[in-house]
């Protein structure tokens, strides 16, 4: 270091109460090989030995204070570290000075908590030998002059400069261009003393650093994973505040309690633990967390007693705001709350019931001459709280937040009586801020509900009996707000109390009583209590007709709401009838272009959708959209909603391209007009994701679904019903992607959340069970799927009734699971019930009824009743073509199912013809790379195989494999299955080496991705065993077939068709190995099971007879062989006669 030095080495001294302590006289620390006289820090507090993290801040300080170029003009450097008390500002400074001890010639550390402490410290400079030679007179000015005259690279630290104004602190800066000044303060306005880039807010610790600090302070082994896990929970609870963590660590290190026990104790005794002075950790001032915060409170109190009325008024405003904010949520406290509440100060409404507005505290809510809130006093109080880091500015200028521990301290410091008073004032302010309609912006209402819930929860926690007082206006408004924002259970509690109070005081037929009855009916509907909702809805409608007259607009709304409840009850015809009445009345009374008329029109369109009347729904939705565009404009939220509804109907009609186009338009408009985080924008995004899924654009659907879930989690919280719904939607997309493991994982979360939040019998919970059951089926977990399916059916029968569409749907799903389990007789019985119920309740033309026919046809195929399957398949194809149109995806699906039935009948030419039509239609409608188009290609390849056109089959299957690899990915289950299909075609082409190679790939991929017990894995084993048989590798084939039989026995049970098939295949292996005795034994079991389960004339039963006949012949038992050959011939002749008869009937 160049230049003349007053001191021979770096002198670090603390200036406090006129006492000078030089480095050469006290040795506290020795840093490496440096000279002791120039590297120790006497009396100036050493950084805590537990100091952890904050490397980025120290790097910023070094960057500023080490950056001294000879080309630059020498100037004094300043840096401010500001932040709340306990965040570690002083410790960061101490650590920085320690690490820079070789860089600074002199370090002057001043306690800057007041002007007096700074003055007394500076005056003591005259006692330094070096200063005495300069003949200082002991005055403040001479001390500053002397420091300013130093040409060395000195550092001057003003620590804890919380209560001085920036101007007052600046008066103590030494003159001259030399030196470095570092300030720590809670007051962010001190930043005016530095350049903008030289002012930094110290925030809470990073998670990993906080964990490390806690384990150091607790003297615990940082390498133990169990302690790290406990510490992670711990630091989250302490909100990553260094002083709180250090203080807690000191308490644990004392042996008073272990790390797990501290959290339990903290949850019950937070105030005591954060106030303890015995364990103050590394606090420079020997203060606890709460003690540190109390310094700021005392400063405000002192200002409130000032003779300056302006200063006093600002301080009193700050004290009241601090108390009120402690009973809001700690984040997102906006000035809008107070601006809306101030309007209520103009005069409270009159009522026979107690009103919150009548006791509103207007001290912070003065109005100007124009009746607008004058926020001057409010802002003055806010600025004082910000200056002491008790609150901080939020994302916008008029939004504020508190650190959670400051928030808790604000309540904990009050006596019980004052807590009750402040909680009530906050509650009333929130109530008066909420209008009794929905005219306020959604974002404001979303923010307000967070504060309302926090206040109500705090009252419950604190057992504030005074807050149990009934306020009619707040209970009604908060009930509606909670219901609107998805907190239906909490809404119900308030609305029930309002209804009871109004019945008692106002009477059952008072308009206010009837209104809240309607609110409660809506809440019951959200809670899945449809019967209660219906009962209340009828009461509301009857009362309105009786009191207001049949043609009053309120009756029309009541009709529409009751119709919505009928829909939830599955009574779609009744809902349609009521909505038509409501629409007719609305057109007659209000006019066709009245907003309420258009809303009812949209509601009727939705009912048409439930009834499967998609064309009528499309027509009505178009009318709604046209009317909204004409009356409200193309960018109005209701117009965009109409667009989204029409897009949904397009999706139901299979018009996916139109649905995508309209969905994108709705999303773009909402994004532009409402913003990306508005709930309606996110809802439109979710609808578009569903359309992408229908289009087979599963990657896009997944991407959008993740965005939706992330946004809802961030805005509404992880346990909000809408967030959980979007989690369920994303799980469906995972299922479409073949990612069944992720789908299962997410659906279990959904089910768990709905169980916890909505209750085990809520329809939403039962839907979650149903979705999980479907995924179990995809995973081959048929036993689990059956168990869950039975629970679902039982619950829906009990809660919704046996004829509710959802109950019928549960029956259909359980029947499908029976089919997967090979329980075809039970599946047939249940599917017949489903079809009968669908015809009776929904009508013969409803899409669900036709779907029930298709499901039954599939079961007929499984049972070998091919003629019934074909007959039903033709009816289905005709109905879907007539109702939905020949190009609707469901019509094309009916064509595909009929082709399967033709396959089963051996009518491969008809099957091939149909499959070509299907592929052509899907190419045209969905595009060449849609998963359903690729599936159609795979089915046509299968038809080629059945016709012996193996070359064509091979070519097409290679195209399918290439497409699935490209579109779905190499690990998608459909891609893996294609490998297996191509291997089977290689078998047919006698390319056994290629078949073996591909068969092994199929097996390996299935085990790796789907698991060893998945049906695809067992199928891969079975197919590879067949290839081994063709390659005369009988031993390997036998071993694999034993594994297949064992697995199918274990997973499906001994009587499942696939288990019986495995038994038959193993018997064939025994025949190849000339183990005829074992083959005979197995084939007898196969024949017995198939005769019992499928009947004597089922093709599979006849096939078992033929195999047994061959075995007897090989054994030389020609009598038995002949007997079975005759039985086979008779059965085949009988079957052919029946099939000929069926063929004739079909031709007719």
Please spell the DSSP secondary structure of 34-61, one letter per residue.
Answer: S-HHHH---SSPPPPTT----HHHHHHH
Specify the higher pLDDT residue, 23 or 194.
194
| The domain defined by 486-604 carries CATH number 3.40.470.10 | no
Contact 644, 663 (CB under 8 A): yes
State the pLDDT at residue 15: 40
d(C-alpha 637, C-alpha 583), whole Å: 22
pLDDT digits (tens, 9 = 90+) for 560-603: 999 999 998 888 889 999 999 999 999 999 999 999 999 999 99
The answer to whether the Cα torsion of 858, 862, 866, 868 is positive or negative is: negative
Q: Please, which pLDDT band fits residue 20 given cuts at 50, 70 and 90?
A: very low
> What does each C-alpha distance from 494 to 438, 456, 475, 480, 563 come to in angstroms?
18, 11, 6, 9, 25
DSSP 206: P
Query: Per residue in 321-349, is it b (16+ CB within 10 Å) or e — as a string?
Result: bbbbbbbbbbbbbbbbbbbbbbbbbeeee
Contact 50, 246 (CB under 8 A): yes
Interval 461-470 mean pLDDT: 65
The answer to whether the Cα torsion of 869, 870, 874, 880 is positive or negative is: positive
Q: Please, which pLDDT band fits residue 285 given cuts at 50, 70 and 90?
A: low
Structure tokens at 1085: 């079991």
Name the pTM for this structure: 0.75
State the pLDDT at residue 506: 94
Domain spanning 612-716, CATH architecture = Alpha Horseshoe (1.25)
Strands 392-393 and 399-401: antiparallel
Share of the chain above pLDDT 90, in %: 37
pLDDT digits (tens, 9 = 90+) for 874-903: 999 998 888 878 888 888 888 888 988 888
Contact 803, 568 (CB under 8 A): no
State the pLDDT at residue 466: 46
d(C-alpha 245, C-alpha 289), whole Å: 10
pLDDT digits (tens, 9 = 90+) for 648-692: 888 888 788 888 899 899 899 888 887 887 878 888 899 899 888
Q: Which residue has the tokens 């009103």?
A: 355
Q: Which residue has the tokens 């047919």?
A: 988
Q: Please, which pLDDT band fits residue 331 given cuts at 50, 70 and 90?
A: very high
pLDDT at 697 > cutoff 80: yes
pLDDT at 1126 > cutoff 80: yes
The overall average pLDDT reported for the chain is 85
The CATH topology of domain 11-201 is Rossmann fold (3.40.50)
Domain spanning 834-906, CATH architecture = Alpha Horseshoe (1.25)
Interval 693-703 mean pLDDT: 86
């Amino acid at each position: 270091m160049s230049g003349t030095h007053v001191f021979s080495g770096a002198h670090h001294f603390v200036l406090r109460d006129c006492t000078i302590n030089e480095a050469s006289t006290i040795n506290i620390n020795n840093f490496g090989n440096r000279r002791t006289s120039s590297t120790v820090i006497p009396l100036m507090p050493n950084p805590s030995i537990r100091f952890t993290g904050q490397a980025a801040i120290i790097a910023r300080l070094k960057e500023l204070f080490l950056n001294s170029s000879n080309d630059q003009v020498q100037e004094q450097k300043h840096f401010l570290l500001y932040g709340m008390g306990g965040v570690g500002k002083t410790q960061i400074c101490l650590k920085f000075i320690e690490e820079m001890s070789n860089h600074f010639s002199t370090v002057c550390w001043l306690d800057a908590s007041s002007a007096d402490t700074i003055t007394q410290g500076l005056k003591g400079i005259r006692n330094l030998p070096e200063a005495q030679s300069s003949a200082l007179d002991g005055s403040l000015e001479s001390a500053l002059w002397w420091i300013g005259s130093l040409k060395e690279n000195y550092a001057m630290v003003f620590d804890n400069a919380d209560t001085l104004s920036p101007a007052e602190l600046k008066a103590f800066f030494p003159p001259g261009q030399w030196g470095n000044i570092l300030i720590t303060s809670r007051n962010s306005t001190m930043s005016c003393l530095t350049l903008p880039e030289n002012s930094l807010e110290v925030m809470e610790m990073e998670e990993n650093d906080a964990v490390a600090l806690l384990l150091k302070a607790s003297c615990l082994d940082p390498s133990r994973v169990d302690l790290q896990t406990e510490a992670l929970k711990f630091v989250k609870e302490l909100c990553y505040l260094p002083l709180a963590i250090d203080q807690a660590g000191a308490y644990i290190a004392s042996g008073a309690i272990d790390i797990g026990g501290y959290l339990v104790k903290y949850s019950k005794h937070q105030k005591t633990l954060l106030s303890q002075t015995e364990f103050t950790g590394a606090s420079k001032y020997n203060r606890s967390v709460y003690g540190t915060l109390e310094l700021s409170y005392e400063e405000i109190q002192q200002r409130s007693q000032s003779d300056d009325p302006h200063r006093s008024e600002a301080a009193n405003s700050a004290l009241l705001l601090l108390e009120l904010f402690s009973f809001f949520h700690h984040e997102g406290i906006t000035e809008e709350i107070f601006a809306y509440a101030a309007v209520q100060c103009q005069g409270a409404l009159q009522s026979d019931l107690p009103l919150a507005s009548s006791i509103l505290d207007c001290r912070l809510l003065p109005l100007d001459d124009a009746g607008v809130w004058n926020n001057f006093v409010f802002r003055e109080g806010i600025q004082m709280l910000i200056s002491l880091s008790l609150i901080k500015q939020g994302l916008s200028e008029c939004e504020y937040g508190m650190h959670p521990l400051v928030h808790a301290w604000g309540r904990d410091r009050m006596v019980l009586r004052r807590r009750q008073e402040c909680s009530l004032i906050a509650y009333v302010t929130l109530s008066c801020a909420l209008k009794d309609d929905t005219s306020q912006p959604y974002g404001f209402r979303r923010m307000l509900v967070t504060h309302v819930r926090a206040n109500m929860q705090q009252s419950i926690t604190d057992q504030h009996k005074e807050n149990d007082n009934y306020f009619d206006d707040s209970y009604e408004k908060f009930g509606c707000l909670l219901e609107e924002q998805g907190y239906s259970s909490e809404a119900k509690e308030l609305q029930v109390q309002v209804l009871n109070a109004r019945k008692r005081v106002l009477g059952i037929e008072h308009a206010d009583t009837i209104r809240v009855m309607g609110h409660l009916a809506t809440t019951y509907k959200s809670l899945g209590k449809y019967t209660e909702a219906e009962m209340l809805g009828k009461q509301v409608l009857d009362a309105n007709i009786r009191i207001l007259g049949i043609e009053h607009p309120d009756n029309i709304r009541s009709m529409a709401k009751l119709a919505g409840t009928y829909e939830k009850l599955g009574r779609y015809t009744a809902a349609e009838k009521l909505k038509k009445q409501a629409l007719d009345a609305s057109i007659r009374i209000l006019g066709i272009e009245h907003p309420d008329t258009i809303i009812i029109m949209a509601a009727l369109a939705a009912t048409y959708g439930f009834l499967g009347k998609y064309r009528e729904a499309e027509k009505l939705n178009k009318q709604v959209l046209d009317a909204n565009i004409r009356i409200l404009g193309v960018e109005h939220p209701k117009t965009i909603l109409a667009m989204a509804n029409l897009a949904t109907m397009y999706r139901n009609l299979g018009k996916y391209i139109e649905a995508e186009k309209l969905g994108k338009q709705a999303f773009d408009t909402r994004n532009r007009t409402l913003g990306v985080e508005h709930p309606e924008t996110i809802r439109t995004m979710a609808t578009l994701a569903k359309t992408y899924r229908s289009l087979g654009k599963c990657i896009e659907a997944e991407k959008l679904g993740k965005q939706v879930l992330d946004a809802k989690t961030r805005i509404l919280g992880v346990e909000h019903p809408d967030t959980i719904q979007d989690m369920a939607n994303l799980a469906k997309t995972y299922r479409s992607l073949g990612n069944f493991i992720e789908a299962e994982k997410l659906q279990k979360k959904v089910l768990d959340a709905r169980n916890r939040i909505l209750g085990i019998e809520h329809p939403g919970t039962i839907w979650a069970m149903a979705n999980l059951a479907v995924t179990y089926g995809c995973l081959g977990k048929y036993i689990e799927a059956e168990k869950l399916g039975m629970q679902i059916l039982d619950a829906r029968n009990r809660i919704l009734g046996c004829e509710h569409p959802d109950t019928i749907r549960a029956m259909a799903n359980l029947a499908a699971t029976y089919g997967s389990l090979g329980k075809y007789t039970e599946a047939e019985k249940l599917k017949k019930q489903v079809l009968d119920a669908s015809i009776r309740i929904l009508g013969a033309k409803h899409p669900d009824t036709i779907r029930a026919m298709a499901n039954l046809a599939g079961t007929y195929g499984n049972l070998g009743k091919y003629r019934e399957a074909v007959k039903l398949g033709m009816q289905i194809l005709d109905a879907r073509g007539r109702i939905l149109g020949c190009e609707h995806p469901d019509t094309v699906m009916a064509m595909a199912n009929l082709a399967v039935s033709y396959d089963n009948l051996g009518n491969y030419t008809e099957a091939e013809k149909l499959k070509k039509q299907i592929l052509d239609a899907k190419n045209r409608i969905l595009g060449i790379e849609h998963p359903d188009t690729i599936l159609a290609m795979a089915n046509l390849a299968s038809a080629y195989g059945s016709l012996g056109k193996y070359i064509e089959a091979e070519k097409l299957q290679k195209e399918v494999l290439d497409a699935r690899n490209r579109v779905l990915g190499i690990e998608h289950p459909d891609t893996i299955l294609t490998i297996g299909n191509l291997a089977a075609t290689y078998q047919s082409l006698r390319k056994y080496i290629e078949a073996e190679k591909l068969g092994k790939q199929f097996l390996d991929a299935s085990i790796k991705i789907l698991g060893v017990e998945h049906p695809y894995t067992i199928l891969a084993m079975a197919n590879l065993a067949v290839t081994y048989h063709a390659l005369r590798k009988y031993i390997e084939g036998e071993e694999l077939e034993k594994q297949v039989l064992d697995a199918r026995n274990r997973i499906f049970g001994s009587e499942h068709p696939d288990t019986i098939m495995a038994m038959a295949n193993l018997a064939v292996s025994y025949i190849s190995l000339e183990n005829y005795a074992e083959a005979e034994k197995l084939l007898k079991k196969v024949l017995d099971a198939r005769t019992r389960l499928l009947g004597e004339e089922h093709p599979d039963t006849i096939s078992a007879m033929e195999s047994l006949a061959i075995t007897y012949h090989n054994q030389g038992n020609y009598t038995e062989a002949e007997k079975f050959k005759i039985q086979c011939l008779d059965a085949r002749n009988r079957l052919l006669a029946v099939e000929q008869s069926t063929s004739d009937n079909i031709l007719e």
